[in-house]
Chain A
Amino acid sequence: MSASKVATMRDAIAALVRDGDSVAIEGFTHLISFAAGHEIIRQGRRDLTLVRMTPDVIYDQMIGAGVARKLVFSWLGNPGVGGLHAVRRVTEGASASLDLEEYSHFGMVGRYTAGAMKLPFFPLRSYFETDLPVANPRIRPIRSPYGEDVVYAVPPLHPDVTIVHAQRADAEGNTQVWGLTGCQKEAAFAADRVIVVVEELVPSEVIRADPNRTLIPGLIVDAVVVEPYGAHPSYTQGYYDRDSRFYVAWDAISRDAAALDAWLRDWVHDLPDRAAYMEKLGPEVAARIRPTGSAPSGSVDYGRYE
Chain B
Amino acid sequence: MGGAAATTAAFSRSEMMIVAAARELAGQRVCFVGVGLPNIAVNLAKLTVAPDLELVYESGVFGARPARLPLSIGDPTIVTGATAVTSMLDLFALYLQGGLIDVGFLGAAQIDRFGNINTTVIGPYDHPTTRLPGSGGACEIAINARSVFVVMRQTARSFVERIDFRTSPGTLGGAEASARIRAEQGWMGSGPSVVVTDLGILHFDGDGEMCLESLHPGVTLDVVRASTGWALRVADRLAETPAPTADELRLIREQLDPEGLYTR
B-contacting residues of A (Cβ < 8 Å)?
A: 28-30, 53-54, 73-77, 79-80, 83, 87-88, 91-94, 96, 102-106, 109-110, 113, 124-132, 134-135, 149-151, 178-183, 185-186, 235, 237, 241-242, 244, 247, 291, 295
Contacts and interface: CB of A to CB of B under 8 A. Distances in A.
Contact of A128 (B81, B138, B169): B169
B76 to A, nearest CB: 5
Interface of chain A, main secondary structure: loop
Interface of B: 35-36, 58-61, 71-76, 79-81, 85-89, 92-93, 96-97, 120, 125-140, 143-144, 165-169, 172, 181, 185-188
Nearest to A126: B140
B131 A92 contact: yes
A91 B87 CA distance: 31
A182 B79 CA distance: 12
A2 B98 CA distance: 42
B80 A295 contact: yes
Contact of B131 (A29, A74, A88): A88
B212 to A, nearest CB: 25
Contacts of B128: 91-93, 96
13 contacts: A28-B59, A80-B71, A83-B131, A88-B131, A92-B127, A92-B128, A93-B128, A93-B129, A103-B135, A126-B143, A182-B74, A235-B76, A291-B76
A237 B137 contact: no
B114 to A, nearest CB: 10
Nearest to A95: B127
B113 to A, nearest CB: 15
Contact of A180 (B35, B36, B59, B134): B59
B75, B85, B88 pick with most chain A CB within 10 angstroms:
B88
Nearest to B166: A131
A109 B89 contact: yes
A105 B79 contact: no
B88 A179 contact: no
